[in-house]
Structures are given as C-alpha cells and as structure tokens.
Amino acid sequence: MKIEFSKKWVGSKQPRKQRKYLAKAPLHLRSDFMHAALSKDLKKKYGKNALQVRKGDQVKVMRGAFKKKVGGIVSVDLKKVRITVEGIQRTKKDGSKIFVALHPSKVMITEIKSDDKFRIGEKNVSKKA
C-alpha cells in the first residue's frame, strides 16, 4: 500500500491496512464513516438501516460507560470521526466538565432533524403541479 489513498481498495484482513485506509481518507469521503443505526420505527418509516449523523439529531448510546443515555448531537468531527452528545460528559480532576467523543457506530438515531429532504431521499416529494 504505497499509494496515499485509493477509492478502489476493497479491503484487507490486516488491521494496519484498515487503520491506514481510515486515517488517509480525504474529508469528502469521511462522511461515509459517519453513519449510525436507526431505531426500529425509523427503519420502517424510511426503509433504511442507517443514516449519516448530523448536529441536532437525537441519539441513544448503545455501548460503553454511557450506555442507554439519550441526548442530542452537539458536534460532528469528520477529522477524528467522532461525535459529541448532550449530557454525556466526564468530570476532570479540577472539577470542570468535558464532552466525551463517541464513534457514530456506537449510537442509534432515535429522532431525525428532518429539515433537509435530500438527506432521507425524498427529493421529489414537494413537486408542484
């Protein structure tokens, strides 16, 4: 893998190559890594298993120390492939609180901020006759 980044790369069993693929990916392709599972009712409604996370979505944490906590997405970091969620904070030794960065695959989207029709694939819904 001497090439910097290749979209044609299919995959490898070797963890070092998987890590390199994720680390070298350009920002316009990192959005593909920012998908989270949808809840059962949203899966039925939209006919999809996962959607890209966005600021303002309501999510439920499925893994880790904050399992089963619910909150809205405060920020999305494409560079680090992490999100921060309201109410999910750690207390530092000096008493100040900081947001905990979570990987989007460890959360489930429970409510979608649906002000963007292109996000869900309803491009032609509001056609005027």
Q: What is the CATH number of the domain that holds 63?
A: 2.30.30.30
Cβ contact 106:95 at 8 Å: no
Using the predicted structure, report yes or no on whether residue 21 has a pLDDT greater than 80: yes
pLDDT at 76 over 60: yes
pLDDT cut 70: percent of the chain above it = 91
Residue 19 lies in a domain: no
Please report whether residue 57 resides in a domain: yes
Asked, for residue 20, whether it belongs to a domain, the answer is no
Are 107 and 72 a contacting pair, CB within 8 Å? no
Q: What does the DSSP 8-state code read for residue 39?
A: P
Task: Considering only the C-alpha atoms of the chain, give the largest distance between any 2 of them, rounded to a whole number of Å.
Answer: 62
pLDDT of residue 3: 65
pLDDT of 66: 96
**Residue whose pair of structure tokens reads 């996000």 in the numeric block:** 119
Q: Is the residue at 44 inside a domain?
A: yes
Range of the domain at 68: 37-114
Say if 51 falls within a structural domain.
yes
Establish if 83 belongs to a structural domain.
yes
Is pLDDT at 128 greater than 60 in this prediction? Answer: no
The total number of structural domains in the chain stands at 1
**pLDDT tens per residue across span 77-113:** 999 999 999 999 999 999 999 999 999 999 999 999 8
pTM for this entry: 0.83
CA distance 1 to 62: 34
Query: Which amino acid does the sequence have at 90?
Result: R
Within-domain flag for 18: no
74 within domain boundaries: yes
With cut-offs at 50, 70 and 90, classify the pLDDT of residue 122: low
Cβ atoms < 10 Å from Cβ of 24: 14
